[in-house]
Structures are given as structure tokens and as C-alpha cells.
Structure 1
């Protein structure tokens, strides 16, 4: 089996090295770049199966990189990692086209799982309509109030704002968020956002 080529883009040398080592021992071929610009200057260096990029970097951010690749029609899944995770950033990343959004510090398994699922989605590439129907089915059991909370999250609102809009307490919003994750059977907020966006919420 041919080793999949994964690119790691992060301005922190220690993180670059540790990610490269992790991916290398798991059988991937890895190339690393300090900035998104350095990668773009070298984009013709060979096929890329998946990109793992930090969000906040000098020059072009990971989010801007996702938008640039999409605008240039470069078909390559991007997993974004960040030390400053928040829901609105995750939503923005997913809407821009990132396949996953992982907050530091993360377990090695979480990153490997995200890469595996990015590579898989590349192979299968289901019809948009089929993916939309599957996503909608996963959200079919939500109550109307849970759906309201989810729509607030997809709009990038924080708990306090959602609570104010719906006339409930921020603590109640937290309970709804936990229910949403359980009902959709997801492990992370970014996974929930991806399903909600795919479902057309």
C-alpha cells in the first residue's frame, strides 16, 4: 500500500516535529512547512492527500489557507488545529471548507482519527444530497428547542447570547449542548458543527 502524503503546517518547530514523528510512525509520508505561504510556493512538489495546519500563524492563517485552496479549486482535505478554539471559529472553519477542527492539546488518537476520516471522505466523496440526508437523519430526533440552540451555535453565537435570544439561562444552554452532542452521537463540537452545516442548518 502506498504511504499517504500528509503536510503539516505550523510555525512552532516543536509541534511540527512531534506531529511529523507521530504521522511517520503511523505509516504516513510527511512534509512540514513553517508557514502557509511556504507551502503554497511549493504546492507543485507532488500530490497531497491531507493537510494538517495550525490556525494562527504569521502571514496567512490556516483559515485563509482553506479559503485560498477552495478558491483555487485544490481538492485536498484540511484539518485545522488551534490553541484558541471557540465555537464561532470552528463554524467559520467548517463553512470555509475545513474537514475538521481540533483544539490543542489533543490526544494523538483524535488527530489520527480526523486524518483517517478525511482520507476516507476523499475516497468515497458521497453525493452532496446523500450526505445532506444522512446529516439530517442524525439530527432528526432533536426537539425544537434543541434545534434553536443548534442554530445559534451554527451562527457562531456564544452560550450567553443564545440564552438571551431564547429567554433561558446560560446553564440551560449548556445542558442543551450536551443533549445535542449525545443525540447526534458526536465526540466534539466541531463534529456537531460539520453535521449541522451539511444538514443545511
Structure 2
């Protein structure tokens, strides 16, 4: 499903993360790592938001830099700590991304109700709490018809009810054939999600660990 070849990301000559060859099968996968280990950097690279060395392929058909539009239509990313222009609203952001991702009819309404953002989604982002920002980011992550959704720390800053709703969404989309790459300090094994694999970033590379 996802193949990473000769990946390397460095800042000022210092290697942050290096992944020589990594193949991810369809499923739900979890990446752990300490703060600053490179999890968000890796996710941003896979999402096509951050240039890097190497190649990142989806289904042996789309490479992130060579086929940027069809690749990005199939790979979604929800940031851990999103930053949006304060004058925009969740409605503005979701409308824009939904149109760009060719969101199916009814999807936006379903997502905003599941993640319970309808009450505030037309208010300016500058008035949002951290939890409201996180829910907005999560809605954006599920828009369109992705084949891979990456959620960076999806369980932080939201309450238990929202956590349950997020896990339910993951399970529902996975049943439709969508794969997930999750990053979290919180233990996904304590949720009802069935993980297919688990990895840890250590010594500037990815190491598989028991799921």
C-alpha cells in the first residue's frame, strides 16, 4: 500500500529520520516516539507537505513528488497541533478542503455531526479551544475518498466522548478499505481499535514493535 525508499530528512546537516526501505500493508498502524523524534516530520513528508530525500509511493502507482495531485487526493493528514488563520472558521476550512478533495454528498454533514462541531463551526478559529481546533483538524483528515489517512496525536486535547467518536470513525472508514497511520503517546491498545502493526522511532529510524 505505502512504500518508502531511501527516505532521509535532515535539518542543517543533522539527520532527523532515515528510513532505507519501509513497506506498509493495508490496515491500521501505530507509530510511537518521543517528542522531537521525527514523527510529525515523517507524517508531513508522507503527506507531501515537506520535501525530503527518497521516494514515497502509494500502491506502486503514485509517487508523492512525481504524481502530486493524484497522490494527495488519496492521502489525508490531520495535524497534531493545527495552526489556521484566526479569521477563518471551520466552515471555511472544511468547505475549501472538501471541494478540493471532492468530498461525496453528505460527507461533511456526517463528519461535523459525528465530531460534534456544528455548534461552533461558523465561529472564527481565533475563538477556538485546543479541543475545537483538534476536532476541526480531524474532520479535515477524513474528507474526500482517501486510501490512507494519517492522524497525528488524534486523541490529545479531546474528551472521552470525542475519543470514542474518533475511534468509531477509524473503524468505519477501515471497513470501507481505508488504511490508517496513527501517531500517539497514548496507548491505542487501550481502545477497541485492532492494530495491524506498531513501530517506534528510535536512533533516527523506524523499528517494528509488538502490536
TM-score by length of structure 2 reads 0.33
Higher RCO (C-alpha under 8 Å, 6+ residues apart): 2
| Higher percent of residues as strand | 2
Max Rg structure: 1
TM-score by length of structure 1 reads 0.34
